[in-house]
Amino acid sequence: MLDVPHWPGHRTGQHVDVRLTADDGYQAERSYSIASAPEDDGIMLTIDRLEDGEVSPYLTEVLEPGDTLELRGPIGGYFVWDASLRGPLLLISGGSGIVPLRAMLRHWAAVRPPVAVRLLHSARSLDDVIYHDELIRLAAFEEVDVRIALTRAWPDDWRGHRGRIDRNFLEDAAWPAQEQPRIYVCGPTAFVEATAAALVESGQRPDSIKTERFGSTGG
Amino acid sequence: MSPPSRGFLGRRRSGVDPSRVPPGQHLTRGFPVLSAGPTPRTEVADWSFTIEGAVEEPTSWRWEAFIALPTDQITVDIHCVTKWSKLDTSWRGVSLDTLLKTVETKAEYLTAWCDGGYTTNLALEDVLDGKAWVAYEYDGEPLAPEHGGPARLLVPHLYFWKSAKWVRGLRLTETDEPGFWETYGYHNHGDPGLEQRYQGD
């Protein structure tokens, strides 16, 4: 959680650039999606620590409360959602791709617009589901439907989807194209490629699908 | 000047000429994919490339005619605004010098347009004299759809969003008309050496 002086406000789905500077002036920069809603206090980033990363291990292991961080943003004007938009909201994420979608869900819960929301989230196992408890709380809203797909391991009594988010799952879970859902897909490249292709094959309009891909870029 | 980040050492690159890595960029060995929507899948049988707009006579090529044009083998470093750079990438494609030679124009700008609706704007001085290509092979193989195949623009001296994937034509314009990312807050020109990432840089 960051306290950012002069923060101009953001829209859900936007990101910030974080810049680290070593004593000799060497710098490293990475982009991170904003996990908090505009209504939240402070700016929250959720960092997926990459084993061989340069910036994410610093942010997760070295940075402490009280330290100063140089950041720039908010950035991005396309992969954004705000509560004034109409049409059902279909959010689809894989792994840490849930971060910007979590901001959208929190924004929805703060404003409560008359829009139905569905989150389809894919994780390896239940322990890998980021924001698990918060998702359960959000699912208590009548308009919010959370469906989790576990791809590698699941509890014996798991009633959610087992396996990847595929075309059958999407056809069952997505609103038909006539209802003009606004679709946001975020996750690793292979997940986004497969999901966006399956959505198009199942009849969704390509221009209703906004994607954000997290490459494994050594972050 | 940025203040130092307490306890940050950084991972220095070894064996790479630092002048090849623009400010704020880091190297990747993979080839990350970034795009705003689903990947369009156009078969080469349905593909054509058109130069239109402020020209005496529009020109168009079908795939077979296009790949019969003189090509260049290009090895260049590429830089994405999301901060990865990739060195020594290898492409084959047709230079924009070759393509634009075929039309008469007074235009000073162009908009590249693509399957999927993506656009990006470029000044002609940024694409002539061996600075830009329409590439259809990467590493000796046909360009994969997720990387922009059948063909993409290759403008390696600018951030890679200018190297529009799935390119289908160039519309020449007398005024500079911002494209997709250029209207969503990204820089109009996008020179990595000057770190022109976002509007106002």
Q: Which of B8, B40, B84 sits opposite A62 (nearest CB)?
A: B8
B106 exposure class (CB count in 10 Å sphere: 0-12, 13-18, 19+): exposed
Determine contact: A116 vs chain B, CB below 8 A: no
Which residue(s) pair with B137 in the sheet?
A: B92, B142
Mean pLDDT score, A84-102: 96
- Tell me, yes or no, whether A198 lies in a domain: yes
- Tell me, yes or no, whether B23 lies in a domain: no
Confidence of residue A52 (pLDDT cuts 50, 70, 90): confident
**Which residue type occupies A70?**
E
DSSP class of residue A69 equals -
Same domain, A110 and A70: no
Same domain, A108 and A63: no
Determine contact: B4 vs chain A, CB below 8 A: yes
Beta-carbon count within 10 A of B89 CB: 17
> Which residues from chain A sit within 8 angstroms of residue B9, using beta carbons?
22
Question: Going edge to edge, which strands form the sheet with A117-123?
Answer: A161-162, A144-150, A117-123, A89-94, A182-188, A209-214
pLDDT of amino acid A205? 97
A81 exposure class (CB count in 10 Å sphere: 0-12, 13-18, 19+): buried
- Tell me, yes or no, whether B24 lies in a domain: no
pLDDT tens-place values along chain B, 201 residues long: 688 999 998 887 767 888 899 998 988 888 888 889 999 999 999 999 999 999 999 999 999 999 999 999 999 999 999 899 999 999 999 999 999 999 999 999 999 999 999 999 999 999 999 999 999 999 999 999 999 999 999 999 999 999 999 999 999 999 999 999 999 999 999 999 999 999 999
pLDDT of amino acid A219? 37
- Tell me, yes or no, whether A8 lies in a domain: no
**Chain A residue at shortest CA distance from B7:** A62
Consecutive H or E run containing A111: helix A98-111
CATH at B70: 3.90.420.10
Q: Which of B2, B84, B146 sits opposite A217 (nearest CB)?
A: B84
What is the number of structural domains in chain B? 1
- Tell me, yes or no, whether B10 lies in a domain: no
**Chain B residue at shortest CA distance from A206:** B38
Consecutive H or E run containing A20: strand A15-21
> What tens digit of pLDDT does each residue of A190-199 get?
999 999 999 9
- Tell me, yes or no, whether A53 lies in a domain: yes
Quote the domain boundaries for residue B84: 45-194
- The domain boundary, picked from A29, A53, A75, lies at A75
> What tens digit of pLDDT does each residue of A106-124 get?
999 999 999 999 999 999 9
Three-state secondary structure of chain B: CCCCCCCCCCCCCCCCCHHHCCCCCEECCCCCCCCCCCCCCCCHHHCEEEEEECECCCEEEEHHHHHCCCCEEEEEEEECCCCEEEEEEEEEEEEHHHHHCCCCECCCEEEEEECCCCEEEEEHHHCCCCCCEEEEEECCEECCHHHCCCCEEECCCCCHHHCCCCEEEEEEECCCCCCHHHHCCECCCCCHHHCCCECCC
Same domain, A195 and A166: yes
B166: left (phi over 0), alpha (psi -120 to 50) or beta: left
> What tens digit of pLDDT does each residue of A15-48 get?
999 999 999 988 898 999 999 999 999 999 999 8
**How close does chain A come to B187, measured CA to CA in Å?**
12
Same domain, A178 and A152: yes
Confidence of residue A212 (pLDDT cuts 50, 70, 90): very high
